[in-house]
Structures are given as structure tokens and as C-alpha cells.
Structure 1
Amino acid sequence: MAKTKAEVLAEQIAETVGAGKELHLESVDFSDPSRPKTCLEVDFPILPINQIAQIEGNAGKPIYQMSKWWARRRSSVFRSTLIAAATKAPDDPAEAAKLVWDSYYGNHQKNEAFRKLKVADIFMGGGTTLVEGARLGMQMAGNDLNPVAWLVVKNELADVDLGEVNKLFDHVEREVKPQIMPFYACEGPNGEKGVWTHIPSGKKMGDDFDPLDLTPEERKEYSYEGPEVIYTFWAKHGPCAAPGCGHRTPLMTNPVVAVKKLSVKSWLGIPCSHCHKTFDIERYEARMAPDVPLVVAETEEPYSIMDDDGYYSCPHCHKQHRDEIAAVKGESSRLLKKFRKNKKIDLTLIVHPDWLKGAASQDELGALGGTATADIEATKRWNTLRASTLKLLEVRGSLPEEIVCPDNGGVVNTSKGNVPKDAQFTCQQETCGKQQAQVSSIEASGTTAATSQFALQCFSPSRSDQGYPYNGRYFKTVDDHDIERNNKALEEWALRARTDLEPYWPKTEIPFGHMTHQRQPLPRHGYFHYHKFFNDRQLYVHALLLKAIDDAYGFSDAAKEIVLGTFQQYLRNQNMFCFWNPQRDTPEPMFSNNNYHPKATVIENSVFADLGRGNWASCRANTFKGLEWCKQPWDTVSNERLATLAPDLAKQTSGKSEKAEPNDPVLPGTLVTCGSSTELNDYGDQEFDLVVTDPPFGGLLHYAELADFFYVWLRLLLKEKYPEYFSGEYTPKTLEAMEALNKSQNQR
């Protein structure tokens, strides 16, 4: 079979930089005090390695994105450092850096000098040193005090059967997806509904079928196809601390939910045959939220939408026209190709001002819920109350400072919300209006801020197939059906949290710490336990996933730990600390910044959706990318270097970099231990030639306190298998090395 153009290009790039070329660099005897110097002791190719490091970013290669760990360093730095530290310097010192750089993309696994070297990283963290050293053929050993880091690295270096891991993922999905799918199924634009199928009989269920009426076990006999929720937008409400008030106000700096620039096939400047005025014809309606009212900015050019039958109306005289051929083929004799363009349209989704007014904290039945400690019935009433005034508006064109509501004619300030300045909010109760500190008011309530849903981003496979703008995605207002689904999840979780799922969620209190009480005072926000970082539906999903992994029969421990590593990554994408990135149109996970900073508006992820960032399916895919990379690694080649080495070849590339494969898979056999680096009992009397590490630094960044977020979940499945690592309620902290501690000791 003939090679593709991309395959030929990859081979040419590899040949140009020497990727995969078998190399046998000379090393030194590190036990000899009078040994020759290594390249690292003479010179280092700082500029070219820095160039690659800048392209790589903090994570770069797929293996380092399988599971979260902090302060990951550029793998290119460690690969080159290991080569430089192990290689005897040439007689001419000026050639040392060149020798390292010329060897960077080579294959060193058959080099006996490298194979004999024993290299340790006693502060291994995320394992970059060990992975890169194993690729070079060295005998690697790593240690870290933190059990979460130990599991992360153990999984990165696992010699695991990818087929078995894939089967385990399938097993987990078969167990969990049917139980939770009714909570994420939804309605699509223009009344679109999904289809439930009874799997044993193949029968399509009618509109009167409600999967919420089934038990979780009965749902395993049904499958679903159709629109589903991929992201749920939640807003925290500030509880007014004024005496006798208690009104709850959404903590939003402005009413904007999301912004998007959509591209739609159009014909520009078409004259109307009736009034002769010109306008644009758009093949599909460019909408983020097709079912909500649309406000068109005055700056927008006149336009008309062509339907599937080719009909469109002049926006000036309203005369109807038809061009069926253009609707089908994209052009015709009338709508000539020269008029056709991909038109970009600015869209903004905002919350209606009626909802931003907030709601009371009580009704005729008593206190309303929505907080982390509220009972189910109170929260159900709260959810219903907040949905009763919820409306969304979509604005087309450059967002003006003010718009007129199409429903009541009221004026909306598009840049003003309920937060007059950072960490404050203004009570929206008509007779109050008190401006107050957010944290103080939440602390005075004795629990977390009440939250409620205010928008859903969903996906319709049929709209995607039909080519609508936004690729099948759409926003929708939370309606009664959505509230019913969420309330059902609350009920089921309340029942199962104390029965079959009781072992699969943490009850651990948040211990006093710098990151949790000083740098960010979590108790003042109402967070006293780790499970309060999640809403009830998220807790339900996580517990089901853990139970499915734990109960899976016939799978190896190695495969289960790989899937558990995926669960760790999913945790940071499915909690009530995730937030929306409007530039990327996706959520950002927890620990995007290294802290426990609570967010005022929060994004809940989906689970098994086929698209979206950070859901279970996405984390699963990233795990496989990492495992596959281990078997067939690649390294980054800067296009700037290609332009120097092979200008004609560089012209065929685009962007900043290409990939080259040295054909040096991550070799098994690395020793990975967990414990204090002051002891290293597992190493016995071994001698090491090199210690290559990135020791802890960074002032008061306590990784152990951050890692507890994952640890309290992981230990539920690992404490019996690894009691020496996971029996403790928290990660070990007394021996954690930090620059701040060293400074304080020096000051004494």
C-alpha cells in the first residue's frame, strides 16, 4: 500500500533530525572520583532545548496528561539532562553541547553504557525523570512521599494490556451509563425528542415512556439516542446577612452566560426582486440557543434565513422568494457562487434580569434548600422556585451596553450584574439593597451558598448530522423536565448513599492546613468535608464509577489501577469548582490554578457524552493516548529548526512544530516506591550512578494538601491492597519538603 503524504513527511522529518538512529554514546565510571567530566558538567544546549520546551508547555506529551500532578516540568529538559549527565564530554569542551543536541532524537536503548547506569529520582512527583530515563534504556528508580504521586507514576510506567484496559472501560460504561442516562437525556430545539429502546425486544418506546419510573437496575435493559446535556451551569447565591432579610442573590458580575462566533454559509448583498433593496441570505440560522428569544443588535446588516425547501423572505418588504436549487446544491443560476461566503456572526447568551433578582430563602413550608447541607425536599422546592423565573436571551451582533427585553420591553444592562466589586454583592431584595462581602455572608449562614442551575449546554446528534452551525451543540433554558430529572437524581443518591454505595464516597473532614484554611478559608465558604465539593448528582456518578471498578470480576489489578487513574482525572473535571472558559467554549478543571479557590458560577460536566471536554469518555480517551504513547513515543521538533536543516521540507509543514519518533518505547522494570526520601528503605544498599530530580520548591505551595482532594477517593479502593500507603485518612504531610520550611529553619 502506498504511503500517505503525511507518512512520507514524517519519515523525512525523522531522517532530517536523526530520530530513531541507533546511538552508542560513551559514559563514565561514576564510582571513580577522578573520572572524566560529563557533558552536563561542561556545557548544555540551552537555546535549542528551551525552544522545544516552550512549544511543549507544562504537560505536552500524552503520558503526562493521563492524571493530574502539579509542577510538571518539560520532558525535553529531562531527556536532554539525562543524556548530558550520562555522556562523557568530548575532548573539545566546545563540542559538549552539540553532542547532546545531536543525540537528542536518537535511540539509546541498545547503548550498553546507558543500560548499566542506575539513576534515581527521590522526589519523582509526576514521574517525568523516570519516563524519559526508561526511554533511554537506563535502570530507573523513583520515590515520592505522596501516595497519589506514586499511583500516577505507577500507572505511567505500567506494562499493561491495552485490550484488557479497554474491556474494563467498556464494562464500567455498561454498568453505569444506563443507570444515569435518564438524568442527562433532554429535549432538543424545536421540540426534538430522543428515543429510548428496549434492548431485549428492540422495541422503540413511545412518548409516554419515562425512564425515571424504572429502578437503576431495570434501566440496564434500555438504551437512548438523542439530545443530551453535556454541561450544566450553576450559580451560587449570596445569602443576605441583613437582619430579617435572608434574600438569596445570584453572584454574577454580569448577565452574560456565553459568547460565540459562529460561521454560516451565506450569500451576501442579494437584491430583492420586489423592492430592490439588498440583504444577506443565510443557509441556516446561526444560533447558540435556538429556542430562546433573539435580540438583533442595531449594527447588524439585514438578513434572511433560507429554509430546507429554499424559501426565504426579504427583511425589508417581506416578499417571499424561493431558490430550491441553492438550498440543495449551495448555489444556482440566481445565487451565484461569487455571492457565497462563510459569514461569521457574533452571538451572546445572557440571563434574563428577572432571574438575576434572586429569590427568598424561605417559602410557606419553611427554609429552602440548595446548600450542601439542605434536605432533599427543601432543595427540590428551591430548584422549582428558581426555575420559575428563569429565562435566557440571545443577542446577535456586537453586544450593546443595553438591550430591550422582547417579552416586557424592559431595558437590560448587559455589563452590570449583582457584584459591584470583587468579593462583594448587592442584595436584590427590593426593600433591602445591602452591599456586603460574599464570604462573610456565606459564613454567617453556617453552610455553603445555595446553588441553582441557570443554563444547559447540550448536544443533538441529528443537528450535527444536518450541518447546523455550532456542530450540533445548543444552549437551553432549564425547564420543568430538567428539574424533575435532577430531583430524581437527588432522591436516588439519598437512598443509595447509605446502602450499596455507602463504601464508595468519602466522609472525610477537611483538616486544618495552609491551602485549605489560610490561603483559602474553605470553612468560611461552608466547606468542612471533601464530599461537599460535589453536588449530589456528581457524588452519585462518582460512587457508581468506583463501585463498577471495584466489582469488576476477572480483571487484573494493573488494569483496575489504570482506570482508577482515569477516575482521578475525571474528579478534577466533575466537581463544583470548575468554571467556564468563554474563549475555548469549554469548562476549565479544578486546579487550573494550584489552589482551592471557590467559584461563583460553576460548570457541571456530563459523563459518557461523545463530545465535550473533561467528561469520562474524554478522560478515557486521554488515558489511551498516554498508554499508546508509551509504546510508540514521539518528541517535538520545532519547525524553526527544520527551516534551518531542510528549508524545502519545512515549507511542507505548518504551525510551530512537528513530531519525530525515536522508536524508544518506555521500557518496563522501573522501581517505583512511596515513602520519605530520608529513609528509602526499599533501596537497601543499592548504589546509584546519578540522582536526577526536581526537588520541591515554590514557597508555600503544599502539594499534599491539594492531593488530599484525590486521595480521599482513591483510598476507598486502595487502602486494603496498599495499607502502607493508603491506610491513613490523609496524605502524609509532616515530612513534606518545602522551600518555606527550609527558610524558616534557616531563620532560626
Structure 2
Amino acid sequence: MARTNPSQGRLDLRSENELKDVLIHFVGPCALEDDDFPFELISDVAEIESWRKEINRPIYHIHKWWAQRLGTVFRAITLGALTPSGTDILSAFYRPVRLKDLTVFDPFMGSGTTIGEAAKLGVRAIGRDINPVAHFLVRNALAFHDREAVLQTFQDIERDVADQIRANYKTVLPDGSEADVLYYFWVKQVNCPACESEVDLFSSRVFAKHAYPSRYPDAKAVCPDCGEVNSVRYDANQTTCLSCKSEFNPLSGPAKGQKATCPSCHHSFAIAKTIRERNAPPAHRLYAKLVLTSDGKKVYAAANDEDRESFARAEKALEARTDPYPVVRIEPGYNTNQALGYNYRYWHEMFNARQLLCLSILAERIRAINEPVMRELFTCLFSGALEFNNLFTSYKGEGTGAVRHMFAHHILKPERVPLEANVWGTRKSSGSFMTMFEGRIRRALDYADDPFELRLQGAIGEKRKTEKVYGLSEPLGFDLAEDFSAFKKGKRIYLSCGDSSVTDIEEGSVDAIITDPPFFDNVHYSQLADFFHVWQRHILGETGTRVTNTTRSPDEVQNADVSAFTERLGSVWAECHRVLSDEGVLAFTYHHSRSEGWSSVLQALMEAGFGISAAFPIKAEMSVAMPKHQAKEPIDLDIVVVCRKRSALKKHNWNGDLWGTIHPKAASQVARLRDCGRKLSRNDVRIIVMAQLIRQLSRSHAMESALSLLEGSNSEIEEAIHSLHSGNGNNPQEARCESRIDRI
């Protein structure tokens, strides 16, 4: 009998007997290959998850990783890949299904979404990733943790070091009382090349405002003459300082774009060039703070001499510590060159002295934890907190999480007005060690004990409520296998770190491969992951996956060079072909706005012996990511590409009507998404068209002819995109295509 608590939006499907639908291996087409697979309805649920992934799937968000995929999507893919054609996937999605005696492999494990979703369905799972940081976070997410031991360890750490760290975030109020500082506000400074005056790199004197300023217009601005913090309207272009009575424009500052103008001599200069010529990272000036008073109020104030003296004491304390932080050079790369351009040569230079002091105190205490599993878990928590406690973060303001983390732009972007958060934190902190324990570790433990799915209530087009449905999945938390032999003997989960083109997995032992491969784009995860890796290595030692001081590897698939990406991806697909059973499917999510992104995937699949049996769009992970909002034609969809060994697929002998096959399928998928109220960008339509094109081409007799036809179809592709994006469902290029396409 279902138990429900409407006030909490919770539905529990467990019965007294814990009845489950148990499905075992089958032979034949799978539900993921059905034309009516409910991708548009799954996308609606995934959309809800995507807005608060860390709350709706906290198990995969105990630590930063890039392109963290949606659990809703991968639950549906796993169900579809391992159930027979004709299965009602929506019904199965909300039933306690157990897919027994089946094995799933993810060769690009990332944050572990495939592994977790498979385990919740009773599937045995193998995960592998070449990056040590990814491997580390998934081990911590899916290993069994005793809740009482975790809570006790945190309390022990708090008892030993919390007060010592908090002491560095105290300030004296005008009435002489002491208060906690939530955040210190800093600004980068550059010496004017003409007169050597220190120039603050403010582009605006407004440093704090509400996330919804039109509704909450009050903001804070710092006076350029006396440094006092003034209350102003967020869009005011003139105000008078309450302290020194000088007039200033709160919306302007010395920095504008890539240049700055010296207030002393009015000389204009290029900021980055001037910093590079100084051969040292830019200096910072402390100018304001946000204080938490004893009665719980938050008060903005100008930084004073006591604040500067407090920082000086932290600098001296740091100098007295032995081996307080990792000293590792930042290597050149697309995602690190911007930081190197500002003369950040070492990873520790991305923190100020007070941050390094507090982090070193915390790291030393975590290193002293005796139990290895617990030591790793709290190192994972520490590593995650680094993202919010460095000089590449900024202030988001009131009405939202206050700290904008350092990877909001997917690059190491030097922040001109960085924010220093309280490392241990208070009850009203954001991004602190204490609050991240509550928000990440506790929340993940709760989810692991009692996983839930989201379900939408109400008709399409209405304002729909969301409920959490419990009782569908097995709990998470496993004794992890260290090699395939241990996995074969019965352990449920096997995680490894290394090149996925070479594994110890037995040939033909995997029932489905479900993954999300990297793109050949410019976000190189390993270059960014080194920021975390050097600290993990500093705490846990230089052993195992942490032998070297970088996560970069010549074997990683991610590569800006198309041919190198194709070769490396193809080698992983070839290993997948070896370990996959002859009846199994390979399913992966993918999107790309450039044609070479699709030809590369097509070539890699065909060379490895795969053909595409189905392809359909589904909600991608990005709903709030900064790069999406900055894109002119953002891609909000992924394509689920479903493949089988070419030996198991019937080859197509077309009569020349290629687009007559592609266009109706693409049009149907576009229409289904629009009927659910989803707005599609031109690039969303593009990936739907491209997926259907490579699906057809992958079934051809020869890879060379498939790639040649793909390369020669640019005009037809653009016409199809224009037709579908504009809402015209017919196929204007069909006749022309028939005359030029030979039988393949």
C-alpha cells in the first residue's frame, strides 16, 4: 500500500512485503530503440531535476565535476536499454523494478550518474574514468558509509579546529563587541604604467545587490574617496557619500572592459598586458565586509585597521607552519592560460594567506583521521570546499547562494573583485566547510539511504507540482571491488581509474554500455581538475592514482584536435565492442554544434564496429550554467545515441531517398518536444537533424561512403534545420536529394 504525505510532496510506493517487478536478461530489440520512447515526458521531469541537481540527485554532487548528467535521464536510458521492446518506460520508471543478473559499464564515469542509477535498479555496474578526481569523487559517493561514524568524525573535527579557524573571521563592531565575518570583499589592484599609482579594478562601485534587483532595489556601493559603504539604488548613476559628502557614480569605476583609467593621472592602459609585464600576480586590497551580528542580522561595513591587522596576523601564522599547502606549478593549457596570463604560476597563489592558513589547519586535521574510508570522505568534502574558498570566486549577492564558485565560466577566470568567505562558516554562510557538510554529505547520506524520483502532477501547459516518489530503488552504499576478479566473484560495484581503451573486463561480459563521452571542445576537465588534485594529493599522499601531480594524460579522449579525438574515442569504443555481449547495446548522450563533432563520432563508431539503431533528443544537464546563458543559440538538449554491433544490424540498401527517411523522424521528434511546450533553439533542431543523419549513414556498407555523404550534405542539412526550426514540417530538399544520392 502506498504511503503519502501531501504536505511534503512525498509518495512512498513501498509495501509491507517490498514487492518488486524483477526483470532478467532478454534477447531482441530493447525499449530504448522504440520510436515511441517517451523522451519528451522524461525531459519534463529532467528539467525539474536540472534546476536543483544538488538537491534532487545529491549523491552525484558531493564534489565538483563538469557536465554532471541528470539522474532522471540515465534512469530512463538504463531502463530502456535493459528491457524488451514494447515496455511502458513511464510506468516502469515509477515502479520498483529490479533488473537482476545484468551488468552495465560506463567507460567515461565522470560524476558516477550511470553507476548510481544502474545500482538503484539492482544492476551490477562497472565504472572507469581516466581522471583521478572523477574516480575519487565517485568512490566516495558510492562507498558504504556508517552514518554515525560520519557524524562523529565531523564533530571531532569541529571540536579540534573550528574555533581556531573561526578566530580568523572575527571583527570588532563600533560598540566594541565582537562579531563573525561572513565575507570579506577584495579588489584587484594594478599600478598605473604612467604614474605608478595603485588602481582599483572596479568596473562598478556597486559590490552587493539582490539577485532580483527590480523587486529589491537596495544595493551597496563603496565610496571612491573615503571607502565608506553606502546604501544606493542598484541602478543609480549618482549618489552622495554619507561619510565624506563627495558625489560619485556608483555604476562606474576605473576598469572598463579590458582597459582601466588611472584616477590620478587619467592615463588609460590595457589591464592584462600591464599585469603580465609586472611578472607577479596582481595585488589585492581589502575594502569591505559582511558581518553577522549577535542577533542574527547581516550588516555591510567598510574594512578597518583591525581587519587589516587580523589579516597580517594570519600571514605570520601561515609563515610559521610546516608544509602548509601544495606547491605545484600550473601547466599551460587552454583552460589555464588565462590564469597564467595574470601571472598565477602556482595553484596556491589562487588563495590569499588567510585562506591558506585555515585550509592548512583543516587539511592537517583530516590527514590525522585514522580510518581510511573516513579520511577519504572528509578529504572529498575539503576538496569540494576549495571551489568556494579562493580568490577566483565572486559575490552573487542577496537572495541566492552568496558565493559564485570559481568554475562558473568553465575556465580559470581571474576575478577582479573576489570574495573571501569564512572557511569554517556560520549558520548563515555559503560555501563553507560546515555548511557543505550539511548540504552535501548529510544530504547525500539521506539520499543513499532512501533514494527518490521526481514526478510531475497536472496537465501539460498548467502550472505543475512536483512530488518525490520513494520506495522505487535500492539503497546506495557498497563494498567496492578493486578489480574485475572481485567483481566477478559477487561485488556489486567495480570502479577503476585509467584508460578505458584497455580494461581488465572479461570479453562479452557486459549487457549494456551507458555513458556520456567527452567532446573534442575546449573545456579540458583534466586542466581544471588539477586544482583539486594537488590538494587531495597533499592530504592523502602520493600513492595510487595520485602518483603524479597532474591529472593530465596523453591517453585522455578529450582533445581539441579532431583527428586525435576521433582516434582516442574510437579506441574506447573498440574496447566497448570487445566487452559487450553480442546482444547488448551501447547508449550514450551527445551533442555538438559543429559538423566535425558528428563526423568524428560517426567515424569512431563505425571503425569500432558499431552502427546506430536509434537516436532521440532528451533534456541536457544545463539549465542554470553560465555558458548556456551566454550562448546566442544555446543547446538545451542531448541526443541519446543507441548502438549495436554492426554484425547484429541489417545493412540498408536505399533507393536514393535518404532525406525522405531522415526528415520525417526529425520532424516527429521536434513536434513531440514542441507539443510539450519546449522551445527549441536552432542548435537544438540542428542536433536532432544531425543525429538522424548519422543514424542512417552508420547503417551503410562502407565507412568512407558514409563520411563522404555526410561531408557533402551541408546544404541539405541547413535546409532541413531551417524548415524544422521555422515550423515548416515539409521536406523542400527531398527531390534534389533523390537525384544526387547513390545507393549505399
Regarding TM over 0.5, the answer is: yes
The DSSP-based 3-state class of the residue aligned with 1:690 is: strand
Preserved contact between residue 237 and residue 249 of structure 2 (Cα < 8 Å): yes
Q: Does 1:423 align with 2:423?
A: no
Give the equivalent residue in structure 2 for 1:332. Answer: none
Instruction: Label 1:745 to 1:494 Cα distance change in 2 as closer, same or farther (>3 A).
Output: closer
Distance of 1:262 and 1:12 partners within structure 2: 30
Preserved contact between residue 255 and residue 416 of structure 1 (Cα < 8 Å): yes
Preserved contact between residue 211 and residue 399 of structure 2 (Cα < 8 Å): no
Instruction: Label 1:525 to 1:667 Cα distance change in 2 as closer, same or farther (>3 A).
Output: closer
Distance of 2:429 and 2:320 partners within structure 1: 30
Instruction: Label 1:443 to 1:740 Cα distance change in 2 as closer, same or farther (>3 A).
Output: closer
Instruction: Label 1:48 to 1:23 Cα distance change in 2 as closer, same or farther (>3 A).
Output: farther
User: In the TM superposition, what whole-angstrom CA distance separates every residue of 1:112-150 from its partner, at most 9, and x where no partner exists?
Assistant: xx2200111011011000001110000111000011000
**How far did 1:596 drift?**
0.5
**Structure 1 counterpart of 2:92, from 103, 106, 109:** 103
User: In the TM superposition, what whole-angstrom CA distance separates every residue of 1:391-426 from its partner, at most 9, and x where no partner exists?
Assistant: 22223x57532122344443211222112x311111
Q: Does 1:456 align with 2:289?
A: yes
Give the equivalent residue in structure 2 for 1:666. Answer: 476
Q: Does 1:639 align with 2:439?
A: no
Distance of 1:394 and 1:715 partners within structure 2: 45
Distance of 2:565 and 2:298 partners within structure 1: 56
Distance of 1:739 and 1:180 partners within structure 2: 41
TM-score normalised over the length of structure 2: 0.69
Q: Does 1:49 align with 2:33?
A: no
**How far did 1:45 drift?**
1.1
How many residue pairs get aligned? The number is 545
Q: Does 1:576 align with 2:391?
A: yes
Distance of 1:492 and 1:736 partners within structure 2: 41
Distance of 2:166 and 2:8 partners within structure 1: 42
User: In the TM superposition, what whole-angstrom CA distance separates every residue of 1:520-542 from its partner, at most 9, and x where no partner exists?
Assistant: 2x222010000001001111111
User: In the TM superposition, what whole-angstrom CA distance separates every residue of 1:558-615 from its partner, at most 9, and x where no partner exists?
Assistant: 1111111111110001000001113645121111221101110000110231222111
Distance of 1:745 and 1:63 partners within structure 2: 30
**Structure 2 counterpart of 1:564, from 379, 383, 386:** 379
**Structure 1 counterpart of 2:406, from 579, 590, 594:** 590
Give the equivalent residue in structure 1 for 2:570. Answer: none
Instruction: Label 1:116 to 1:262 Cα distance change in 2 as closer, same or farther (>3 A).
Output: closer
**How far did 1:636 drift?**
1.1
Q: Does 1:149 align with 2:20?
A: no
Give the equivalent residue in structure 2 for 1:446. Answer: 279
**How far did 1:451 drift?**
0.2
Q: Which runs of 5+ in 1 are unaligned?
A: 30-34, 91-95, 195-226, 264-343, 355-388, 465-471, 645-649
**Structure 2 counterpart of 1:605, from 421, 430, 433:** 421
Give the equivalent residue in structure 1 for 2:113. Answer: 128
Q: Does 1:715 align with 2:518?
A: no
The DSSP-based 3-state class of the residue aligned with 2:458 is: helix
Distance of 1:673 and 1:530 partners within structure 2: 27
Q: Does 1:405 align with 2:403?
A: no
**Structure 1 counterpart of 2:61, from 45, 51, 65:** 65
The DSSP-based 3-state class of the residue aligned with 2:455 is: strand
Give the equivalent residue in structure 2 for 1:253. Answer: 203
Give the equivalent residue in structure 1 for 2:298. Answer: 473
Instruction: Label 1:134 to 1:345 Cα distance change in 2 as closer, same or farther (>3 A).
Output: closer
Give the equivalent residue in structure 2 for 1:347. Answer: 218
User: In the TM superposition, what whole-angstrom CA distance separates every residue of 1:638-660 from its partner, at most 9, and x where no partner exists?
Assistant: 2336x89xxxxx9xxx8742211
Distance of 1:551 and 1:718 partners within structure 2: 10
Distance of 1:740 and 1:447 partners within structure 2: 30
Preserved contact between residue 78 and residue 118 of structure 2 (Cα < 8 Å): yes
Preserved contact between residue 24 and residue 100 of structure 2 (Cα < 8 Å): no
Q: For 1:146, give the aligned amino acid.
A: N
Distance of 1:139 and 1:406 partners within structure 2: 66
1:189-588 equivalence runs, <5 A: 191=175, 193-194=177-178, 227-242=179-194, 245-260=195-210, 346-354=217-225, 389-395=226-232, 400-419=236-255, 421-429=256-264, 432-462=265-295, 464=296, 472-496=297-321, 499=322, 502=323, 504-517=324-337, 520=338, 522-553=339-370, 556-582=371-397, 584=399, 586-588=402-404
Give the equivalent residue in structure 2 for 1:280. Answer: none
The DSSP-based 3-state class of the residue aligned with 2:496 is: strand
**How far did 1:24 drift?**
2.4
Distance of 2:28 and 2:127 partners within structure 1: 27
Preserved contact between residue 120 and residue 688 of structure 1 (Cα < 8 Å): yes
Preserved contact between residue 131 and residue 498 of structure 2 (Cα < 8 Å): yes
Distance of 1:417 and 1:552 partners within structure 2: 48
**How far did 1:447 drift?**
0.6
Percent identity, aligned pairs only?
26
Preserved contact between residue 20 and residue 663 of structure 1 (Cα < 8 Å): no
Higher radius of gyration, 1 or 2: 1
Give the equivalent residue in structure 2 for 1:86. Answer: 82
**How far did 1:620 drift?**
0.6
Q: For 1:511, give the aligned amino acid.
A: E
Aligned-residue CA RMSD (Å): 2.8
Q: Which runs of 5+ in 2 are unaligned?
A: 479-491, 567-595, 601-744
Q: For 2:240, give the aligned amino acid.
A: V
Distance of 2:16 and 2:7 partners within structure 1: 13
Preserved contact between residue 186 and residue 229 of structure 1 (Cα < 8 Å): yes
**Structure 1 counterpart of 2:521, from 699, 710, 735:** 699
Distance of 1:19 and 1:53 partners within structure 2: 30
The DSSP-based 3-state class of the residue aligned with 1:425 is: strand
Preserved contact between residue 10 and residue 660 of structure 1 (Cα < 8 Å): no
TM-score normalised over the length of structure 1: 0.69
Preserved contact between residue 50 and residue 70 of structure 2 (Cα < 8 Å): yes
Distance of 1:528 and 1:412 partners within structure 2: 37
Instruction: Label 1:452 to 1:18 Cα distance change in 2 as closer, same or farther (>3 A).
Output: farther
